[in-house]
Amino acid sequence: MIDCKNLTKRYVDGDNITDVLRNVSFSIKKGEFVAIMGPSGSGKSTIMHILGLLDTPTTGSYFLEDKDVSKLDDDEQALIRAKKIGFVFQAFNLLPRTTVLRNVMLPLTYLNMGVEDREEKAKRALTSVGFPEERWKNLSNQLSGGQMQRVAIARALVNDPSIIFADEPTGNLDTKTGEIVLETFKKLNKEEGRTIVLITHEPDVAKHADRTIHVRDGKLID
């Protein structure tokens, strides 16, 4: 599903040159649950931004489902994000004064789909992550952290993506709630065959994945 070849990312500010990624190459198969782990500043979030088409590499190639998407223009990348990619972030990124159901419907706004169809897909996504129906009309700022993250996972699923990227998804949660969220990812992977890439700096979180890619100082070390 994913094939990265010699990815580099360099930032130039006057005479200052910062190499964030240095010739990183790896592959991820369809249906895998993979963790990308490294300390702060290791380059793991930059990898996720490139894989999620939120950024482009300075050099190197990124093939998604056998297509070199790193060379596409902004509109083409945006269309792939809308159809094939789901994101879950540490800070949840929900609209605070909007209902759970409407938060989950939001990514479908950019697709040519009627309101009833969008609502039905959102309900299916919320059901798949075990979010209780009696809370679908609650505002997102009336939820606990764990509930908000499950809504965020449902939002990531609503466009039936080929792959889900989760960037430190348990970072704002207590240990018990974090375990519940991680078990949700494992269920989506094992029971629905979703490909999941989890970004983390915590070994206890990474162990929930089937395989771990270790990054340090912009390089793949294991």
* pLDDT score for 123: 95
Q: What is the pLDDT of residues 40-62, one digit of tens each?
A: 999 999 999 999 999 999 999 99
How far apart CA 158 and CA 150 sit, in angstroms, is 12
* pLDDT score for 111: 75
Could you tell me which CATH number the domain at 2-217 has? Answer: 3.40.50.300
Indicate whether 110 pLDDT > 90.
no
pLDDT bin (cut points 50, 70, 90) of residue 173 is: confident
**0.85 exceeded by pTM:** yes
Indicate whether 67 pLDDT > 80.
yes
Higher model confidence: residue 123 or residue 91?
Answer: 123
How far apart CA 142 and CA 135 sit, in angstroms, is 10
* pLDDT score for 55: 93
pLDDT bin (cut points 50, 70, 90) of residue 168 is: very high
Per-residue buried b or exposed e for 140-161, using 16+ beta carbons within 10 Å of the residue's own CB: beebeebbbbbbbbbbbbbbeb
- Contact in structure between 99 and 147 (CB atoms under 8 Å): no
The ranges assigned to domains in the chain are 2-217
Mean pLDDT of the chain: 92
Torsion angle of C-alpha atoms 47, 50, 158, 194, degrees rounded to 10: -50
Partnered with residue 188 across adjacent β-strands are: none
How far apart CA 8 and CA 12 sit, in angstroms, is 13
